[in-house]
Chain A
Amino acid sequence: MLKDITLGQYFPGKSLIHRLDPRTKLIFLVVFIVALFLCSGWVSYCVMLFTLSAAIVLSRVPLKAFFKGLKPLLFILVFTAVLNLFFTAGEKPLFTLGFITVYPEGIIRAVLMLLRIMMLVMATFLLTYTTSPIALTDGLESLLSPLKKIKLPVHELSMMMCIALRFIPTLIEETDKIMSAQKARGADFETGSLIQRVKALVPILIPLFISAFRRADELAIAMESRCYQGGDGRSKMKLLRFKGIDLYVFAFAAVMVAGVCLLKNWGL
């Protein structure tokens, strides 16, 4: 049951998208999302869809993974589509069902909204699927480093993220072990009312927390004995460096935003 958690799942690979600097991918994702919200008409949506499809094909990540990731969002997607379909007013009603009137504009809007949300989510997936968690935290640390000037603990935050990611599988394993131990002693997690089931979780969470604190204590000692003293004076094995290909991506991002703005002006 706990094995299904795919937090920030990474598909190792050597494709063009994998080789991009994590910062490039992060910046491009932000630009892509902004551009997505600037879109208004069919043509501009097609431009965005084409960009995303090209990136997905280039990444060589199986398309199935993207749709699998969309599944938990099914409710929101349907909800948004239905709302837009029924509550968009236009000039000529297509048909009327009781108190609901559907306009052609409503259909168009529903489809476009659906596309917008799907592209938003899939673009984010593309980032986590093609970037290892370590590269991602390194990229974030590097991008946020100007904030150090206003005393934001950027290094500490990225270290925390890195350790959290490192310990997710360890703690999942531990939870499984504790659950088995409690089951062996007759604990019941599957039946009973919601409140009863929540109560049954307490004997799992308490040992889990205690062991997590113990682990944290040991890890802190191990880190200290390896001369860890915070971010000052630390070096990095893998330095982030923008390459030629990253420049092309930035140029493309600029063209994409300019194009979408122009299309918006022309009302497309």
Chain B
Amino acid sequence: MDALILEETQVKMAISVENLKFIYPGVDDTPGITVFESLDLKVAEGSFVAIVGSNGCGKSTLAKHFNAIMLPTGGKVYVHGMDSSVEENMIPIRRSTGMVFQNPDNQIVANVVEEDVAFGPENLGVASPAIRKRVDEALKQVGMYAYREHAPHLLSGGQKQRIAIAGIIAMEPKCIVLDEPTAMLDPQGRREVLQTISALNKDKGITVVLITHHMEEAALADRVVVLSKGKVALDGTPREVFSQVDLMHGMGLASPDTVELCHALNQKGFDLSLDSLNTEQCAQAIYDALTC
């Protein structure tokens, strides 16, 4: 028993949000908009966490707290143990936690792919040969090495987003926060980006926080956190969270299509479990229910 507790406390937290309060300041006399009243959230190092929620629930605002772009009005955000409200911590936090945004066009700085990937390490003052090495490795990891001398505006959305991810990897962060990275991509680009993200988490042990409103994407994570009205409404493995179909509907969200299908069938008198997250599992579950 003691050993178990010890083990639990040894798990290091990549991000630790304690009692976070955030208010968008109002202009002149108008009152500010309260996004978070008191939010607690912990993300363990090396985990893959998806944050979902309806529009305006504060997903993006929360993401910007992880990178010290926004600072809490009250409470604390610790990133790898560093308090984000301390000014000296700003650069170390941004070094340890990279951020990928929604629109790939608006985060690419240079007009040659490899120069853009080099932008981050250059800002950190890394020596020239080391930058070259990091850039080549990062581009190989996202599978864009062949395009290193291309102009970014000639690439597809998925490719551009992978360049943006490479630009973050080249800074060698311990954690990557992605704010709806697939929202502007076609299905092909979405697949490319998700494969890249999963590989980074599995192979390199980088902590991934994926903010999304696609439940199929969230199902790839180890853990899903549902935000609603500035609070954590549900938190658990994808199976645990998505099987609460009625709760999800109440928050204006939907579970993945496969779970929704089983749920709809259950209402017509079937008795299916609500934990099939992919098509094969779902088909098997329906087949089993029909044959026995």
Q: Name A's B-contacting residues (CB within 8 A).
A: 12, 132-134, 162-163, 165-166, 169-170, 173, 215, 218-219, 221-229, 233-239
- A170 with B105: in contact, given A225-B69, A229-B91, A237-B132 (CB under 8 Å)? yes
Is B157 engaged at the interface, CB distance under 8 Å to the other chain? no
Asked if B107 lies at the interface with its beta carbon under 8 angstroms from chain A, I say yes
The verdict on B230 contacting chain A, using a C-beta distance below 8 Å, is no
- Interface CB pairs A-B, < 8 A, 21: A12-B149, A132-B112, A163-B109, A170-B153, A218-B103, A219-B107, A221-B64, A221-B69, A221-B101, A223-B109, A224-B69, A226-B98, A226-B120, A226-B123, A226-B168, A228-B119, A235-B125, A235-B126, A236-B128, A237-B132, A239-B128
Q: Cα distance A59–B171 when bound, in Å? A: 37
Residues of A within 8 A of B107 (CB): 218-219, 222
* Chain A residue at minimum C-beta to C-beta distance from B135: A237
B153 touches A169 (CB 8 A): yes
Q: In this assembly, does B221 line the interface, its C-beta being within 8 Å of a C-beta of chain A? A: no
Interface centre among B109, B126, B128, B135 (most CB of A within 10 A): B109
Verify A237–B69 contact, CB threshold 8 A: no
Query: Given A170-B153, A225-B94, A229-B91, are A237 and B110 neighbors across the interface (CB < 8 Å)?
Result: no
Interface size on B, residues (CB 8 A): 41
- Smallest beta-carbon distance B270→chain A, Å: 47
Starting from the known contacts A218-B106, A218-B107, 4 additional A-B residue pairs (CB-CB under 8 Å) come to A162-B110, A221-B69, A221-B101, A237-B132
CB neighbours of A12 from chain B (8 A): 149
1/0 per residue, CB under 8 A from A, across B117-134: the answer is 011111111111001100
**CB neighbors of A among B79-98 (8 A):** 91, 94-95, 98
Q: Nearest-CB distance from B97 to chain A (Å)?
A: 9
User: What residues of B have a CB within 8 angstroms of the CB of A228 in the complex?
Assistant: 119, 123
Residue of B nearest to A12 (CB): B149
Q: Which B residues fall within an 8 A CB radius of A?
A: 64, 67, 69, 91, 94-95, 98-99, 101, 103, 105-112, 114-115, 118-128, 131-132, 135, 149, 151-153, 167-168, 171
Q: Hey, which chain B residues are within 8 Å of A226, CB to CB?
A: 94, 98, 119-120, 123, 167-168, 171
A166–B126 touching, CB < 8 Å: no
Q: Contact between A237 and B118 (Cβ–Cβ < 8 Å)? A: yes
How many Å lie between the Cα of A166 and that of B108 in the bound state?
Answer: 8
B124 pairs with A219, CB closer than 8 A: no
CA distance A223 to B119 in the complex (A): 9
Tell whether, in the assembled complex, residue B122 and residue A166 are in contact, meaning their CB atoms are under 8 Å apart: no
Question: Are A237 and B103 interface neighbours, CB within 8 A?
Answer: no
Q: What is the minimal beta-carbon distance from B216 to any residue of chain A, in angstroms?
A: 26
B109: A residues at CB distance < 8 A: 162-163, 166, 219, 222-223
| A225–B106 touching, CB < 8 Å | no
Return the chain B residue nearest A219 by Cβ.
B106
Chain A residues lying within 8 Å of B110, measured Cβ to Cβ, are 134, 162, 166
